Structure 1
Amino acid sequence: MNYAQLLLPDFSLILCGYLICRYTALNRSVWQPVESLVYYLLFPVLLFQSIVKSPVDISAASGLIGAGMLSGVIGIALAYSLPHWPWLGKRIDARDHAASAQVAFRFNSFIGLAIAERLAGTQGLLMIAVLIGVCVPLFNVAAVWPMARQGQHSFARELVRNPLIIATGSGLAANLLGFQIPEWAVPTVSRISAASLALGLMAAGAGLQFGLLTRGKALSVAVLSIRHLVQPLLAFALARLFGLDPVQTTVLLAFSALPTASTCYVLAARMGYNGPYVAGLVTLSTLLGVVSLPFALGFLR
């Protein structure tokens, strides 16, 4: 499989957003309202649709769910612990860490869906849909927590008001209850979802400031190492520990090596943090996916 070709559309949209914002009249004053539209409407619709469209059979994938959740919890713990590492803590800005910790454990679900279908067909698609359904709510809560804590906001209030968490939680509940989007609404919802991907990635590109990555070099290396090296190794070990079958092992390895979610930038920017820095991490993570996916699916598998 050509992983570079699979990741090219995402990276191209980020690059388009960067060039349009820097070299045309469509500058930051245009892109800030776009970020709000993506965050409060388009991305929630996308998340809800992606979770409810495939039935979640939890009993048939309990081992995969356990391995995926445990891998995610370890990734979250590692990301949270970075400021307490003796050789790293003094080099980390607390607010940058709060905004970027999510990069270490969140994932691009649409790249994951595309890879799983190509690798294992319908069964692979259903397996990764299960992982998305159970992991996205946990990971979104974990993404909000350090920013709410660092910004001295009420964590419960941030959860209740966060449209991404509301969408994923309601999507999972609807899936478990057997709800399906009515056929007449599917075309409209699908077009909104497609628009959210394009605009979200372009907005991330419009917010890029690569100079900020050099300022937080140690933090950048740490969170990206957890996302693209530690997580695949964890998945390899947990697949053995849980005795996963070949299809589940393949899906878990693909899941562990995905680039981070493009919504990382949107969430950080809307909560008042360093959005351009996180946008740079999203771009680097997309590029690193070209390395981590072959590493997990070729070498480890």
Structure 2
Amino acid sequence: MLAIFESLLPVFLLIALGAGLKAICLIEDAHWTGMERISYFVFFPSLLVHTLYNTDFAAIPASRSVAAYCIGLAAILAVALILRVPFRRLFGLDDPSYSSVVQGFIRWNAFVGLAIAEKIGGPAMFTVVALGIAVLAIPINIAAVSVVARLGSKSAEAGGTVRLVARNPLVIGTAIGLVLNFSGISLYAPFADAIELCSRVSLPMGLILVGAGLRFVLPRQAVAAAAATGALKLALVPLIYAGVAYGLGLRGEELIAIAVSGSVPTAMNGYLVARDLGGDAPLYAAIVTMQTIAAFFTIPLVVLTASYLAG
């Protein structure tokens, strides 16, 4: 267990660095916004393009991994629908607030997932997590935007969901990487090197921005709902993903990678969706913060359990 903690510690130290830099106001808020935009629109899509373009899908059980991700997500969405009435009764949530709970339950922070895979596994683990991004980016964004558009306090324009998803840089980067891979197109070497250089910036920058986005002053009424969402996200979601993967016969680093994908905290980009479509943005910020802090303790348990199952 200590070895797993030590392997994960650099990831969470970068998150803590981001939180510390934000707390001491070393960087102005406007500059943080600029860093978030360039990371979201340039660096992270570059990482997806570089990883997927260079992935040898024949070297991993791609079809079973894709099936595990898809079945797992379907099960998680079903749980989110089932929990709507109990959550509203237990925590007094209205529809906009519950839309933030759903986002906090189904989204995952790919920055953290890839960083963990890079630290504790080999190329196969990193590739399977990247494959998860490719598989889940579109359906998760469609599901999240649709739920917030339906339950939020602002009515969405017709076709707005499709346009929002189509403009998502993660979706665009995934599509470009897969097209380049399966078409056999070879990128001009200097251009490929430039994309790789951008991709190297993505993970450390992304982790620092995760920390900078945390909110440590939480609305009192949001704490209980955020804590319950975090408990389900960090315990139930990895169990679902790992259970499906195990049932499909995945073992080794592939199973651990899928469990890690489910174990990471939710992603901050859901905050923008909640804010723009009338969800409960303060509740979503509380959910992200509590999950990110708790994940330092829960992810090692998930990795340890998945390693045992992986054989």
**Normalised-by-shorter TM-score class:** 0.7 to 0.9
Conserved in 1, the CA contact under 8 Å of 2:14 and 2:211? yes
Q: Residue by residue, what CA displacement relative to the aligned partner does 1:231-281 show, whole Å, maximum 9, x if unpaired?
A: 222234323432334443333333332333454456656767666654443
Corresponding residue for residue 155 of structure 2: 152
Structure 1 residues 17 and 240: alpha-carbon distance in aligned structure 2, compared to 1, 3 A threshold: closer
Corresponding residue for residue 288 of structure 2: 282
Corresponding residue for residue 36 of structure 2: 35
- Looking at structure 2, the residues matched to 71 and 230 of structure 1 have their Cα atoms a distance apart, in angstroms, of 11
Bigger drift between 66-75 and 129-138 goes to 129-138
**Residue identity (%):** 28
Structure 1 residues 66 and 140: alpha-carbon distance in aligned structure 2, compared to 1, 3 A threshold: same
Using the TM superposition, give the Cα deviation of residue 70 of structure 1 relative to its aligned residue in structure 2, in angstroms: 0.9
Name the Cα RMSD after superposition.
Answer: 3.5
Corresponding residue for residue 234 of structure 2: 228
Q: Counterpart of 2:298 in structure 1: which amino acid?
A: S
Conserved in 2, the CA contact under 8 Å of 1:75 and 1:231? yes
Using the TM superposition, give the Cα deviation of residue 80 of structure 1 relative to its aligned residue in structure 2, in angstroms: 4.8
- Structure 1: runs of 5 or more not aligned: none
Q: Counterpart of 1:284 in structure 2: which amino acid?
A: M
Q: Residue by residue, what CA displacement relative to the aligned partner does 1:127-182 show, whole Å, maximum 9, x if unpaired?
A: 44433322233223323322333232221222233333222233333333334554
Conserved in 2, the CA contact under 8 Å of 1:36 and 1:270? no
Q: Name the count of aligned residue pairs.
A: 301
Structure 1 residues 152 and 196: alpha-carbon distance in aligned structure 2, compared to 1, 3 A threshold: farther
Bigger drift between 50-59 and 251-260 goes to 50-59
| Secondary structure at the counterpart of residue 212 of structure 1 | coil
- Looking at structure 1, the residues matched to 138 and 42 of structure 2 have their Cα atoms a distance apart, in angstroms, of 17
TM-score by length of 2: 0.77
| Secondary structure at the counterpart of residue 122 of structure 2 | helix
- Looking at structure 2, the residues matched to 81 and 191 of structure 1 have their Cα atoms a distance apart, in angstroms, of 44
Aligned positions of 1:1-301 closer than 5 A: 2-24=3-25, 26-57=27-58, 60-85=61-86, 88=89, 91-113=92-114, 115-116=116-117, 121-149=122-150, 150=152, 151-153=154-156, 154-179=160-185, 181-212=187-218, 214-261=220-267, 263-265=269-271, 277-299=283-305, 301=309
Bigger drift between 67-76 and 35-44 goes to 35-44
Bigger drift between 7-16 and 157-166 goes to 7-16
Using the TM superposition, give the Cα deviation of residue 291 of structure 1 relative to its aligned residue in structure 2, in angstroms: 3.1
